[in-house]
Structure 1
Amino acid sequence: MDINEIARMAGVSRATVSRYLNDGYVSEEKRHMIKKVIDETGYVPSQRAQTLRTGKTKLVGVIIPKISSDSVSRMVQGMTKLFRENGYQIILANTDNDAKAEVDYIKLFSGRNKVDGIILIATVFSAAHIRALEACSIPTVVLGQKLEGQSCVFQDDFHALYEITLSALQHGSKPAFLGVREDDVSAGHQRHEGFMAACKELDIRIPQKNVILGGKFSVDAGYNMTEELIESGADVDTIVCATDNIAFGAITCLREYGRRVPEDVQVTGVGDGTLSQVVSPTLTTVHHYYRESGLEAAKILVDAMNGGTTIAREVRMGYEVRRRRSTR
């Protein structure tokens, strides 16, 4: 079954069928006849032929840092429906936080007739990342980080941590911070800076041993950093964590050391994943609109792929502090 047979069965020209398949003008009567034949035969146009004809693959490359991440899954969920509604399919590339693999995928996807656009869910940027993005000849959107000169959708991590720290310290005065790597500007540097700004606002001096950075986005990292905090003799009544997973690890460690949450030590997180509402005690955390940020990134990319503006656009998402039982 090919386009010539569809044309013969519908009683129209081959050119008319081609226009129908490529969303060109076709009269309602002929459109109805062609659709009827396609529905009855189950005909699917050759993707390769369409690519050769239009130069479009109708594919989008989405580069992700970790497939098991709750925030990443919500971002991908947010973009999937919009891409599908616009006739695009996703190729998902999981890098397991390998920066070189991210650069390799950018180069692979931007090669001739690979994909029509790229979304990079970013964590860190190396010089190689910048060079690859600048050399990219197809529309690209960075999700999760702000990058000058690139269309990007990112979270307001500084103000989110500033606000949740102020909230927790309404009932505490000896805070600690458990963070991730600082070269991750959003989750690392910005969240750390937001915490420090809130403490400065309250005129609270933070001992060096009360700030532990460089942890991974994991429960184990939260446990280990909390254990390090306790064994250092730090005097702490509030632990502000850079992620929910770190907070889950902190709560587990505190319990094993005989500390009550929140009576002895308050704990806060960032992310508001499903587990934050079912752990005991339920977790006070920052709700980032990850699903909506995925949708916004997809909107920007679809517009660019369809010939819209080439001017770089920046979207900073809102957030919400959700107080639960891990704080007083």
Structure 2
Amino acid sequence: MGKTYNINDIALMAGVAKSTVSRYLNGGYVSEKTRLQIENIIRTTGFSPNQTAQNLKSKQRKVVGVVIPRIDSYAVSRTLMGLDDALNAVNMQMLVINCSQSIDREIEALDNLSKQKLAGIVWLASAISKRHHKIINQLESANIPILLLGQTHPTLPYIAYPDFDGAFSLGQYCKSLGHKEIAYLGVEEKDLAVGLNRWLGFKKSFDEADISLTRYFCSFSLQDAYELTKKIINAQSNYTLLLCATDNIALGAYKALSEAKIRIPNDISLTGFGGYDFTQMLHPSLTTIELPFYEAGQIAAFKLRYILLSQDKTIGQTTNKQENDPYLQLKKTFTNSAAALYLSSAEKENISHGCQLDSHQLCTTFTLKKRQSVDISDKKK
């Protein structure tokens, strides 16, 4: 029977430290020269690492906790797809926890994750309350990086959507079509991105015009939006346009209008926000702001990897050569990726300098989709 080699033997034969071999086996950074040397020795000796021990170690750097507010959401599912694809490409995995829009469940989930060996956490937060701050401190004490996706924060790194700018752009477009009586169907302001920033963007676009803008509140539920729109219809208002904070809310409104035989856009115009796939399949198709949910998930994976590199104290100790610098390699890969194209104009300026992943605050771009649901509203005088 041939000799059974262990990790100490491999390290001795390669002339490197045991920790270097361990880092190589667990997918960490080693220089190209050392990597090839270790690979050759493993191939020659037939060395096979203890898979159970390797898995236990790899969980610390290869599993990403992902906390989501709800699972039945187009935006969430597209974001998870982008995140999963980008993480899978570097042999990392997601541990997804659905909180069903419950703050209690969300805090419990973050608390549980703080006690596990994770590479980091991507948090698709709806709102960040005072109750969350203790858990955030707990995660930071455990050296588990947190990356917010979809919301902004004064201290945490985040990737946000241009909710204010997108709403302002859509509002300006609708104003140009001659609308004077407008209803806005939105959510509570505790959700800063959807509930507050989108409302402020729409409000600013109409502030200096002779336009009546009435605000209504509902949840993200299609059914709630449907019921709210029926109440608006029964009130026999003179609205020429229904602005909706999300495409899902717009779909609920769409159903209520259709049942009431109110034609879109002949009798009333309707807009959404998000760019969900179904918006272009409706007839007439829905005017909306398209957000890059899938690409935002990919950007989150790149950013989290960058944060992990910044925490790895072994980086920079093995080589001073730029071609082997993992920071530069990651920036180059990201700059050449499709995801980088979906950053806002301010971040695009940074791409040529290769420093966009250095930014604590990243923001995506948006696209105004001018579709049939408002096309002929300017004919209604």
Normalising by structure 1, we get a TM-score of 0.86
Distance 1:320 1:301 in 2: 26
Distance 2:13 2:4 in 1: 8
Equivalent residue for 1:109, pick from 105, 110, 113: 113
How far off is 1:129 after superposition?
1.0
- The DSSP-based 3-state class of the residue aligned with 2:238 is coil
Cα gap change, 1:232 to 1:38, in 2 (>3 Å): farther
Q: Which residue number corresponds to residue 165 of structure 1? A: 171
Cα gap change, 1:313 to 1:9, in 2 (>3 Å): closer
Answer yes or no: is 1:81 the counterpart of 2:85: yes
The structure where helix makes up a greater share of residues is 2
Answer yes or no: is 1:144 the counterpart of 2:147: no
Give the AA of the match of 2:185.
L
Q: Which residue number corresponds to residue 319 of structure 1? A: 366
Cα gap change, 1:49 to 1:317, in 2 (>3 Å): closer
- The DSSP-based 3-state class of the residue aligned with 2:117 is coil
Equivalent residue for 2:306, pick from 303, 306, 311: 303
- The DSSP-based 3-state class of the residue aligned with 1:267 is strand
Distance 1:316 1:31 in 2: 40
Q: Which residue number corresponds to residue 378 of structure 2? A: none
Answer yes or no: is 1:130 the counterpart of 2:99: no
Cα gap change, 1:80 to 1:231, in 2 (>3 Å): same
Map Cα deviations across residues 20-70 of structure 1 (whole Å, 9 max, x no partner): 41454646365135258779x89846345535xxx9342110000111211
- The DSSP-based 3-state class of the residue aligned with 2:368 is strand
**Paired residues of 2:7 and 2:49 also in contact (CA < 8 A):** no
317-326 or 20-29, which deviates more: 20-29
Equivalent residue for 2:248, pick from 240, 245, 248: 245
Answer yes or no: is 1:281 the counterpart of 2:288: no
The CA RMSD measured in Å over matched residues stands at 3.1
**Paired residues of 1:108 and 1:114 also in contact (CA < 8 A):** no
**Paired residues of 1:106 and 1:132 also in contact (CA < 8 A):** yes
Cα gap change, 1:38 to 1:186, in 2 (>3 Å): farther
Answer yes or no: is 1:190 the counterpart of 2:197: yes
Q: Which residue number corresponds to residue 221 of structure 1? A: 224
Cα gap change, 1:19 to 1:173, in 2 (>3 Å): closer
Q: Which residue number corresponds to residue 42 of structure 2? A: 34
Cα gap change, 1:233 to 1:27, in 2 (>3 Å): closer
Cα gap change, 1:30 to 1:189, in 2 (>3 Å): closer
Distance 1:182 1:31 in 2: 55
Distance 1:114 1:33 in 2: 30
**Paired residues of 1:62 and 1:91 also in contact (CA < 8 A):** yes
Normalising by structure 2, we get a TM-score of 0.75
Runs of 4+ in 1 over 4 A off after TM superposition: 3-10, 12-20, 22-25, 35-39, 41-45, 308-312
**Paired residues of 1:6 and 1:38 also in contact (CA < 8 A):** no
Q: Which residue number corresponds to residue 100 of structure 2? A: 96
How far off is 1:115 after superposition?
1.0
Give the AA of the match of 1:223.
Y
- The DSSP-based 3-state class of the residue aligned with 1:239 is strand
Distance 1:36 1:190 in 2: 60
Q: Which residue number corresponds to residue 62 of structure 2? A: 58
- Identity of aligned pairs, percent? 27
**Aligned pairs, number:** 317
Map Cα deviations across residues 163-220 of structure 1 (whole Å, 9 max, x no partner): 11221232222111011122111111111122221221323133xxx3211x121221
- The DSSP-based 3-state class of the residue aligned with 1:130 is helix
How far off is 1:296 after superposition?
2.0
Equivalent residue for 1:268, pick from 255, 267, 271: 271
- The DSSP-based 3-state class of the residue aligned with 1:56 is helix
Structure 2 gaps of 5+ residues are 313-356, 376-381
Cα gap change, 1:226 to 1:315, in 2 (>3 Å): same
Give the AA of the match of 2:360.
R
Give the AA of the match of 2:175.
L
181-190 or 126-135, which deviates more: 126-135
Structure 1 gaps of 5+ residues are none
Distance 1:153 1:320 in 2: 17
**Paired residues of 1:6 and 1:37 also in contact (CA < 8 A):** no
**Paired residues of 2:24 and 2:35 also in contact (CA < 8 A):** no
How far off is 1:242 after superposition?
0.5
**Paired residues of 1:223 and 1:253 also in contact (CA < 8 A):** yes
Map Cα deviations across residues 231-263 of structure 1 (whole Å, 9 max, x no partner): 223211111001111111111111222211001
Distance 1:249 1:122 in 2: 24
How far off is 1:292 after superposition?
1.9
